[in-house]
Chain A
Amino acid sequence: MQELINRAKELLADGTVARVLGYKAGDLPYNPEPAYFESAEELKDFVYNGFCGANLSKYMIEASKLEGKTMVFLKPCDTYSFNQLLKEHRVDRDKAYIVGVGCKGKLDIEKVKKQGIKGIQSIKGADITDDAQILTIQTIYGEKTCSYGDAMLERCHVCKGKEHRIFDEQIGESKETKDAERFAEVERIEAMSPEEKFAYFRSELSKCIRCNACRNACPACSCRKCVFDSNKFDSSQKANVDSFEEKMFHIIRAFHVAGRCTDCGECSRVCPQGIPLHLFNRKFIKDIDELYGEYQAGADTDSTAPLTDYTFEDAEPSIVGKRG
């Protein structure tokens, strides 16, 4: 972490960047917030640890409108989002000084709490320099431990790889965290009967409160004004009066980001109701991979997106009923 701070100070001092986009220490051991730092003095609050899970690429949309360069710390998976935004002209490469930060997997406090750990006072083992095996947690109710792996976000278990796709420099080491199949959960659902599928998604989506956290945290959902907020389709319903609205919202959201979603997992991370929203996006990714050839959004900035592309021999929509 000190290395990041030192580098930030250097670049601020020599005028390379006008500000630094990173994280500020929170008031609890696990809630650092994304923040801008404009001076060495401000950097005293800078923190970078396992709880810094937010995808800062999203913030670069706004940062691109500011004067001067913004130094930003991006995890490997964040760089896919940055690339994708670059491709869509939503961020300005010249306004970003990207430090690719190594990643050993990011933590999900909800997963810690799900293990019955509450009254958390401090957490040891979450720093990026730690060797990432065990978290030791001091609570009001005594000391608890939790393995790092068990506390990791879902996305880290199916990590795309620890390679930064775009950066100006790299700092810190990464550790492979992939220990599960990316599409296993999608396949599990695909194998269900229509009734089971319906019941599964009804149960999950019934929790949706239409808070729009998934949309607003999503780097692919970068619309200035979402269709669900505008009257262009007569679709600006805010509430969950009927279960259909959640389906409409989540299907269309997934469709709008199909071929653009980098599978960064922010939607699921931020959902207050713990809905595995990534399963929608990942379904499209799987379909695209299978039907139109493997495609990883954000892997580059010049490939043709699957939904703006075609071949004469493309699968017919009837393939949906035919696949096993």
Chain B
Amino acid sequence: MGSEKKQAEMMKEISGVNPLKCMKCGKCSATCPSYNEMDIKPHQFVSYVINEDIESLVNSKSLWKCLSCFACVERCPRDVKPGKLIDAARQMVVRQKGQDYLLADEIPELLDPELPQQLLVSAFRRYRR
């Protein structure tokens, strides 16, 4: 539990997001192009952080379905920025795995033929450090 709390805190710190500002309007989910691909929906992401259930987030499919288009960030009326939370969750995964998130061998496994090419490119740009 303690570590979950710490992780939640870390997520807030990385993202700069205050999830308590959320008024649960769902506009993020309404606006999300990857909604149907996601197991945990964007608006749920926020409440998961509030409830400090980071484990589920880190292991969710949604994490890798988000296109980082930031429509949710743009449209959120409460300035909560769910996209940044997702981004932060990814960061945490990356940090746990070490220097590189995407090792060359891992890529074929993750490759979904339906995923747009653009995502791969952008993911590489973002997470290859």
Answer whether A and B touch in the complex at a CB cut-off of 8 Å: no
B binding-site residues for A, Cβ under 8 Å = none
A binding-site residues for B, Cβ under 8 Å = none
